[in-house]
Structure 1
Amino acid sequence: MAMEPLSPLVLLVAFSSFLVSQWLFHTGGPWLSERLTPHFLTLNHTQRTEWSTRVVSTVHAFVVGLLCLYIFLFDEAIQEDPVWADSSLVKLSVSITTGYLISDLLLMVYFWDFIGEKNFLMHHLAALYAYCYVLSQGILPYFANFRLLSEFSTPFVNQRWFLQVLGYHKCSKPSLVNGVAMAASFFLARIAVIPVYYRHMYSVYGTEAFTRLSQDARFAWVLCSLCLDVMNVMWMRRILRGCLKVLRSGRVREAAMELESRKMD
């Protein structure tokens, strides 16, 4: 079914995504978590709140990430015209993400003492600002879809927090495996693609399709892209520092165990 810019269908998808996100946070996520891990029942209110937000985040990442990968591989229209191609699938994925972001933004503000963070607030606002142009004017489908491919790193970031709350040591095998997957996926999905993204942006600069964009749309496109990438670089730096810290602590731990075994000998 065709989805016109800011049509009732687009608004319906965004609103449905908002409702599903709220349901997952308040009902679906806790119900499923109780059955997957009994440890969920021992968490305090603050931990349960963040746990539930990360469950919603993970579900959204899987749904939108797979949809965007399909679009990237098989939607030839956005490859041929990355600025003005009419892609209903891109509007669908952006509508789902918009509903999720609004839901998560409201939860973040309401539970600010528990899960509030300025960087995430800026991330959500910048993304919503850009996606409003995509949905209202039907522009930049390739670049909007390219941005959403970064969601492939989100499940590993959330899993790191889940393992930590469940009591897994940072040097345990599940934590180390997930840590490597998190660092690799974050780098590949959010950092390594930065030159590709801006090279593609530069390739359409000055073209007829580009000149048809309004000044405010160009400003929103460039500003939001830079803002999101600066935050991604900052988060990548945190991840690398965390990885180095774990590796160092692991070496210290091994050295201590080796020294202790020598003493026993």
Structure 2
Amino acid sequence: MTLEATHLLAAASGFLGMLMIYKFISPRVVPLWFPAYHALPWEKQIQVNEIFMAGSHSVVVCISSWVAYFTVEELKPTTLWYDCALTRHTSAFFWGYSIADLLLMICHPHFGDVYFLMHHVVSLIAGYLGMASISIPYYVNVFLMMELTNPFVNFRFMLKALGYPEKSLLFSCTGVLIFITWWIARLGPIPIYAYHMAQLMSTGGFFKIELSMQLTSVLGYAFFTVLNLAWFRVIIKLFQREIRGLIQQGHSMAKRVQQETNSKKGG
């Protein structure tokens, strides 16, 4: 495992940059879109700032990892070693952010429960190995690609913290987008990942990489899979509720249009 100065700079930017967003940018930007921010108690404001920080990080990681997936030809399930600069620097940025968010969680325990804490600890390990190692970069990138869901998850959390109406169209749309992206980035890849990993093991190549990467690529992914499946139970209920809400809103809108049309004809 070798680290270069650019990897450490990427990690530092993830750590310091996200803390700056939390401390300085979010308190100034969020009120421009949602004036209700100023009326929130202090505890809610710092919660919104943390959510905004998490969402900002997820946009960066999501874009970088999916760009790598579609543009870097060497990112293949059979590749044992390849120094993918984009994946390693994205992992470094992710690692730096994870440290920042874990520190905030320790300072403000109400930010998350024990499952989020476990999630962040495993993320720290996976992020560091993805930054420091050149082994199985395809599988490292699959971890990062899960961030596709998080811009929508964090935006919904922020709307809820701001007291945004849960029956609004914007709130409903986020629920639908979470359901779709969860399938694309978290559930759909599970059998594909398992198949390719089994193929790698059957050829013996998997056992040539360092033990830390072996354990993380199997146990780490299994951990995230369990969490993703558990959270998906909640997302299914959320999706069903949002679809019903969108249908009701569509019926209400159609009735209003019909009433306006009839009133114009009557006039």
**How high is the TM-score relative to the length of structure 2?**
0.85
Q: RMSD of aligned C-alpha atoms?
A: 2.4
Deviations along 1:110-161, one digit per CA (max 9) or x if unpaired, are 101x213111111111122123223233222111111111111111111222
The residue that corresponds to 1:47 in the other structure is 44
1:70 aligns with 2:67: yes
Q: Do the aligned partners of residues 168 and 221 (structure 1) sit closer, same or farther apart at CA in structure 2, a change above 3 Å counting?
A: same
Paired residues of 2:77 and 2:139 also in contact (CA < 8 A): no
Q: Do the aligned partners of residues 137 and 179 (structure 1) sit closer, same or farther apart at CA in structure 2, a change above 3 Å counting?
A: closer
Compute the displacement of 1:204 (Å): 1.2
Deviations along 1:224-250, one digit per CA (max 9) or x if unpaired, are 110011001111111112334556789
Q: Do the aligned partners of residues 133 and 40 (structure 1) sit closer, same or farther apart at CA in structure 2, a change above 3 Å counting?
A: same
The residue that corresponds to 1:94 in the other structure is 91
What pairs up with 1:1-265 in 2 under 5 angstroms? 5-79=2-76, 81-112=78-109, 114-207=110-203, 209-245=205-241
CA distance in 2, matches of 1:16, 1:152: 21
Compute the displacement of 1:87 (Å): 0.6
CA distance in 2, matches of 1:253, 1:135: 46
Q: Secondary structure at the match of 1:79?
A: coil
Greater shift in the superposed pair: 46-55 or 201-210: 201-210
Compute the displacement of 1:251 (Å): 9.0
Paired residues of 2:11 and 2:95 also in contact (CA < 8 A): yes
User: Once superposed, which parts of structure 1, at least 4 consecutive aligned residues long, lie more than 4 Å away?
Assistant: 245-254
Paired residues of 1:11 and 1:95 also in contact (CA < 8 A): yes
Paired residues of 1:109 and 1:116 also in contact (CA < 8 A): no
Deviations along 1:143-195, one digit per CA (max 9) or x if unpaired, are 11111111111111112222223333322222112211111112221112111
CA distance in 1, matches of 2:30, 2:224: 31
CA distance in 1, matches of 2:86, 2:164: 39
Q: Do the aligned partners of residues 212 and 156 (structure 1) sit closer, same or farther apart at CA in structure 2, a change above 3 Å counting?
A: same
Paired residues of 1:98 and 1:131 also in contact (CA < 8 A): yes
Compute the displacement of 1:92 (Å): 0.8
CA distance in 1, matches of 2:174, 2:141: 26
Deviations along 1:57-116, one digit per CA (max 9) or x if unpaired, are 11111111111111000101122753311111111110110001111011011101x213
- The size of the alignment, in residue pairs, is 251
The residue that corresponds to 1:263 in the other structure is none
CA distance in 2, matches of 1:82, 1:31: 45
Greater shift in the superposed pair: 144-153 or 199-208: 199-208
The residue that corresponds to 1:259 in the other structure is none
Paired residues of 2:130 and 2:137 also in contact (CA < 8 A): yes
